[in-house]
């Protein structure tokens, strides 16, 4: 990418399986991500350990799924569990071509059975005076749960992100009722990239016939120049979500 340009992609990868859960397709997902060539990936439903899948799928990588996706292209990465069970775990991941100076996983789970978290990282970009703050999220399915998670997210940003620092929040919001907009625009002065450029949210779920506005890329301190949902082949044959790809200038 040219200097002071940033290319990001947000994607719920469905734990590396096809939408039907019949086929393990992490290798195909990696090929698609390599083709998209984003500088920073915000990934949700990233599988961590899974002892049964390791036994049952011959193409299961020898390293963790996060390391497998990051190899050779994204030297800096962070994986954080937000669901832990007897045979494994899954959560959020950030993969970056630029150094991750720090990261923290913030538990926002009101229920043990529906673990959720915010993965907050600081990344050094050579053209920014301050670190870029990024938060990868996968919010809950229940409205009351999401309202509590929005409140926690707002508090986290107020307390840990300087107001003049660039910030990107991306992921699977499960927010088809539009709860995020008022909190984010009024309290945090955040805008959503696809809506800024297209005057509406992107429909990203299900990937083969998108009707729900599930995935978002919010920002401040940067300027979006491009934001599209990726629904063409191969994306419509991979996860149950369509990814969002955005370009930003300083």
Give the sign of the dihedral formed by CA 8, CA 236, CA 30, CA 25. positive
Q: Which domain holds residue 109?
A: 5-249
pLDDT of the residue at 228:
98
Q: What is the CATH number of the domain that holds 22?
A: 3.60.10.10
Q: Rounded CA gap, 207 and 37, in Å?
A: 20
pLDDT of the residue at 144:
78
Cβ-contact 132, 168 below 8 angstroms: yes
By CB neighbour count within 10 A (0-12 exposed, 13-18 middle, 19+ buried), where does 6 fall?
buried
Cβ-contact 214, 241 below 8 angstroms: yes
Q: To the nearest whole number, what is the mean pLDDT of the chain?
A: 92
pLDDT of the residue at 185:
77
Q: Give yes or no for residue 1 having a pLDDT over 70.
A: no
Cβ-contact 65, 57 below 8 angstroms: no
pLDDT of the residue at 150:
87
Peptide bond before residue 234 is cis, with ω within 30 degrees of 0? yes
As a whole number, mean pLDDT of residues 15-38 equals: 95
3-state secondary structure 157-169: HHHHCCCCCCEEE
Number of domains composing the chain: 1
Residue pointed to by tokens 């011959």: 58
| Structure confidence by residue, pLDDT tens digits, 102-124 | 999 988 877 665 578 899 999 99
DSSP-based three-state secondary structure for 80: strand
Helix or strand holding residue 69 (H, E): helix 65-70
| Structure confidence by residue, pLDDT tens digits, 182-207 | 778 777 889 999 999 999 999 999 99
**Residue 157 — φ and ψ, nearest 5°?**
-70, -45
Q: What is the pTM of this model?
A: 0.94
């Amino acid at each position: 990418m040219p200097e002071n340009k940033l290319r990001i992609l947000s994607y719920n990868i469905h734990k590396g399986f096809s939408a039907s859960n019949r086929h393990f397709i992490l290798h195909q997902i990696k090929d698609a991500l390599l083709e998209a060539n984003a500088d920073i990936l915000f990934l949700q439903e990233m599988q961590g350990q899974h002892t049964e899948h390791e036994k049952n799928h011959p193409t299961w990588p020898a390293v963790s799924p996060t390391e497998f996706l990051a190899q050779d292209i994204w030297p800096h990465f962070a994986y954080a569990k937000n669901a832990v069970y007897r045979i494994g775990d899954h959560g959020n991941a950030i993969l970056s071509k630029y150094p991750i100076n720090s990261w923290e996983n913030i538990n926002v789970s009101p229920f043990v059975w529906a673990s959720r978290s915010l993965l907050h990282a600081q990344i050094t970009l050579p053209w920014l005076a301050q670190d870029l703050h990024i938060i990868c999220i996968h919010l809950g399915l229940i409205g009351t749960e999401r309202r509590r998670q929005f409140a926690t997210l707002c508090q986290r940003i107020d307390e840990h992100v300087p107001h003049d620092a660039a910030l990107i929040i991306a992921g699977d919001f499960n927010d088809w009722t539009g709860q995020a907009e008022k909190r984010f625009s009024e309290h945090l002065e955040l805008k959503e990239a696809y809506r800024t450029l297209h005057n509406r949210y992107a429909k990203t779920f299900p990937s083969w016939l998108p009707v729900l506005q599930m995935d978002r890329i919010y920002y401040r301190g940067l300027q979006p120049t491009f934001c599209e949902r990726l629904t063409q082949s191969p994306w419509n044959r991979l996860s149950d979500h369509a990814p969002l790809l955005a370009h930003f200038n300083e």
